[in-house]
A and B are shown apart, each in its own frame.
Chain A
């Protein structure tokens, strides 16, 4: 017997995720719906022989075609016909939550209502008559507290019975919400037309199709047109007729009237003694008192800054130790491989390609887990919505959303973040265009890996104003990122802002289990990438910087030099070691120059002379695509300084300051380029994931590199004209 499918639907914040976690525990699978960025969560449920696959549909307020989430939820219900649909309803916010319930009823699906948060409702002095509610809605209603699990077993028993046909699914034929005479008449004749031609009768109830057409639901209209274009025209004519009539006589739109009647229907039910309020309904609750402080005009922004800053501090300082731990393990692995294998391409690939590549990625894991843990606290407690509320006015100017602030801060808004968790933090944004603009611009911030480059070049060329330059570059990254967002929103991401209208859910204590599941889910997705795409790119980059290697004469010449050193100095003495190291370094530099990357670097000089870069810088920039800190070590190799430790690059700085190819102007141009060119490939992979398409990832690489090149060229050329 194939397993039955249960679907969970409900408003955002109604407690869907909490119920889902309670039902499925850790047996979850998170993926994406094809073609969209909406997450698809599935889990297995098993109790007393009742087995089911539970699908957690995205939280929606309605079933129009307003957002990707709604379309996904609707298509799932219509196409996959789950055996039972559980509608989670927030008891403390009944009227608005039942708005979705109404629409589910009209879809005539086997529905059970889970009345959640009855504990909150009780605290607020509300009594809800569950039996009456069930009677009037015509579907079973079960009171639950998803957080503690109270009532969940009864709910699932009923779901099992309904799925097995032991209790009949509610008779949805009876329920008809009236939309007023005019619309009802039109619906009646449209329904007849639809029935006659069996239009989409496998998927939707006929009256529902009629309602959606009158509501002017574009996605459904397209679907109808594809199925039967002649009928579609006739249906649309009917819909237009009633729309014209309503506009003339009542100065209103059909969709508005339909919404009014749905709420009217709900009010009608609730008025029949279903809710009893023991206190004034609009009384202020604890949550509102907290808000008086946390969103206060003066204290609010200060507290917010403090909260954001401390999250930042916590993640970056607490993760320092585990990050070093992971690095140590990988260094140890590299050393072990070094000792076990003979010198050769295999060893070099394992160490430089595989271990360094994957190690670099896994090194981020503790950081990402902590960051997501903190973000999950902000999200689940309800504070993130307040941040969006307070910051929206500023971010809107740049075509973004108040919630974007989180991603910017995490990515390095306070110098030293990381774009990888930043990109992943955009997931909390519900507005698609604003989210995409955030996603594409957060890599401009000064992440921790860019700091060594800043430190190196500022230290070498602008040592006298170190702090000033550091600060200026942080501010500059903000300006560039925000302006870039604005430009994107006016060009490729053009479009009216997504409506902001959102709720400020009451503050709640997050549950530990919820936080852990949240954190683990996101971190795991990241780790999986490390094993696949990132490993591949890392090996390719290694090969590019290694092959084809030196030719036999060059090799022989280095051998001869070594022999000479061995003959001249006592083996093992200081002088001898030093000479040998210098030869090693020159050999490495020449290998790099000879490699594919080196050849590309030389070829690129034809273009990059415009911004003052010579081939060594070009190679370093190529390497920086692997991870920004690689820029420093690659520069070290290219300048025969050995693999410079990014943390201790003093001597490399001195070397650069003396090099005729460098000058303060070149350094400035290089700094600007390195800050704003393509994100590192870990970030690029994350962008691809979060945007749902590699095209966006590619776009991100191209537009930022182009922009950075133009910027540094302009600075370099103008600087030269001015005589710097």
Chain B
């Protein structure tokens, strides 16, 4: 088990969010969309220019920009 930022996850990699380290509007928005501690996510894919990233959460798809993904820390299997 190791912790990396969501930006560095590979396609189809699976993990569990351990922290969302941002306050203010962005933090609020990320949490409103259900990305909180303990949520399981899988990377579904990336846009043609590698950014934004699309991820799968409880059977639905969310997208966010890489610089937003930076604030999300995920625990992944080796």
List chain A positions with a Cβ less than 8 A from chain B.
Answer: 61-62, 64, 66, 92-93, 95-96, 99, 124, 253, 255-256, 259-260, 263, 281-283, 285, 288, 291-292, 295, 297-298, 300-301, 389-390, 392-394, 396, 498-504, 506
Task: For A394, list chain B residues within 8 Å (CB).
Answer: 49
29 contacts between A and B (CB under 8 A): A62-B32, A93-B59, A95-B58, A96-B33, A96-B34, A99-B32, A99-B34, A253-B27, A255-B27, A255-B31, A256-B23, A282-B58, A282-B59, A291-B61, A292-B45, A295-B45, A389-B47, A389-B52, A390-B48, A392-B51, A394-B49, A499-B30, A501-B30, A501-B35, A501-B63, A502-B63, A503-B60, A504-B61, A504-B63
The reply on B8 being an interface residue by CB < 8 A is: no
Q: In the complex, are the beta carbons of A392 and B52 less than 8 A apart?
A: yes
Cα(A260)–Cα(B36), bound, Å: 7
Within 8 A of A (CB), among B11-51: 20, 23, 25-38, 42, 44-51
Instruction: Give the residue among A61, A62, A393 with the most B Cβ atoms within 10 A.
Output: A393
When distances are taken between beta carbons in the complex, the residues of chain B under 8 Å from A62 are: 28, 32
Cα A360 to Cα B30 with chains together (Å): 46
Cβ–Cβ < 8 Å partners of B25 in chain A: 66, 498-499
Q: Does B70 contact A (CB under 8 A)?
A: no
Rounded to whole angstroms, the CA-CA distance of A282 and B56 in the bound complex is 8
Q: A253-B23, A282-B42, A499-B30 are in contact. Are A300 and B48 (CB under 8 A)?
A: yes
In angstroms, how far is the closest chain A Cβ from the Cβ of B21?
9
Given contacts A283-B59, A504-B54, 8 further A-B contacts (CB under 8 A): A255-B31, A259-B28, A260-B38, A282-B42, A282-B56, A393-B51, A503-B33, A506-B60
- Chain B contributes a number of interface residues (CB within 8 A of A) equal to 37
Chain A residues with CB below 8 A from B65, complex form: 392, 396, 500
A259 near B48 with CB under 8 A, answer no
Q: Which of B36, B45, B59, B68 contacts A259 (CB 8 A)?
A: B36
- Please measure, in the bound complex, the distance between the C-alpha atom of A288 and the C-alpha atom of B55, giving whole angstroms: 11
| Distance of B32 from chain A, by nearest CB (Å) | 4
Say whether B33 contacts A61, CB under 8 Å. Answer: yes
- Whether A64 contacts B28 in the complex (CB less than 8 A), given A259-B36, A502-B62, comes out as yes
Bound Cα distance from A393 to B51, whole angstroms: 6
A253 and B63 CA atoms in complex are apart in Å by 24
Q: When A61-B33, A64-B32, A501-B63 are in contact, do A256 and B27 touch as well, CB less than 8 Å?
A: yes
From A253, A301, A390, residue with most partner B Cβ within 10 Å: A253
Question: How far is it, in angstroms, between the C-alpha of A260 and the C-alpha of B18 when the chains are bound?
Answer: 12
B34 touches A501 (CB 8 A): no
- Which of chain B's residues have a CB closer than 8 A to the CB of A66? 25, 28-29, 32
Chain B residues near A297 (CB, 8 Å)? 46, 48
* Assembly CA distance A288 to B37 (angstroms): 25
What residues of chain B lie closer than 8 Å to A295, measured between beta carbons? Answer: 45, 47-48, 54
CB distance from A16 to the nearest CB of B (A): 17
In the complex, residue of chain B having the shortest beta-carbon distance to the beta carbon of A93: B60
> Bound complex: CA of A467 vs CA of B73, how far in Å?
53
Interfacial chain A residues near B54, Cβ < 8 Å: 295, 389, 504
Within the complex, the shortest CB–CB distance from B49 to chain A, in Å, comes to: 4
Does B10 touch A at the CB level, under 8 Å? Answer: no
Residues from chain B with a CB closer than 8 A to the CB of A504 are 54, 61-63
Contacting pair A288 B63 (CB below 8 A): no
Residue of A285, A292, A390 near B47 (CB, 8 A) is A390
Are B48 and A499 neighbours in the complex by a CB distance under 8 Å? no
Instruction: Give A256 to B47 CA distance when docked, in angstroms.
Output: 29
Give the shortest distance, in Å, between A281 (CB) and chain B (any CB): 5
- Are B48 and A256 in touch, CB under 8 angstroms? no
With the chains together, A683 CA to B73 CA distance in Å? 46
A292 to B20, CA, bound (A): 28
- Docked Cα-Cα span, A301 to B50, in Å, equals 13
A392-B51, A393-B51 known; A96 vs B20 contact (CB < 8 Å)? no
Q: Please measure, in the bound complex, the distance between the C-alpha atom of A502 and the C-alpha atom of B58, giving whole angstroms.
A: 15
State the Cβ distance, A427 to closest chain B Cβ, in Å.
21
State the CA gap A300–B46 with chains docked (Å): 11
B59 x A92 contact (CB < 8 A): yes
- Tell me the minimal C-beta distance from A503 to chain B in angstroms: 5
Going nearest first, the 10 A-B pairs with the smallest beta carbon separation are A393-B49, A259-B31, A504-B61, A62-B32, A61-B32, A499-B29, A96-B34, A501-B64, A500-B65, A499-B26
Bound-complex Cα distance A396 to B61 (A): 21
**How many angstroms between the C-alpha atoms of A500 and B33 in the bound complex?**
11
List the A side residues contacting B28 at CB < 8 Å.
62, 64, 66, 255, 259
| A residues in contact with B31, CB < 8 Å | 255-256, 259
Contact status A501-B68, CB under 8 Å:
yes
Q: Chain A CB within 10 Å — which of B27, B48, B49 has the most?
A: B48
Measured CA separation A297–B46 after assembly (Å): 8
- Among residues of A, the one whose C-beta sits closest to the C-beta of B62 is A503
Distance in angstroms from A73 CB to nearest chain B CB is 13
The residues of A that contact B58 with a CB separation of less than 8 Å are: 93, 95-96, 281-282
Q: Which residues of A contact B26 (CB under 8 A)?
A: 499, 501
- Contact (Cβ within 8 A) B62 A501: yes
Query: Taking the nearest CB of chain A, how far is it from the CB of B38, in angstroms?
Result: 8
Bound-complex Cα distance A260 to B31 (A): 8
CB distance from A277 to the nearest CB of B (A): 9
Give complex CA distance A92, B33 in Å.
15
A92 & B52 in contact (Cβ 8 Å cutoff): no
B-side contacts of A392, CB under 8 Å? 47, 51-52, 65
Determine how close the nearest CB of chain A comes to the CB of B50; give it in whole angstroms: 7
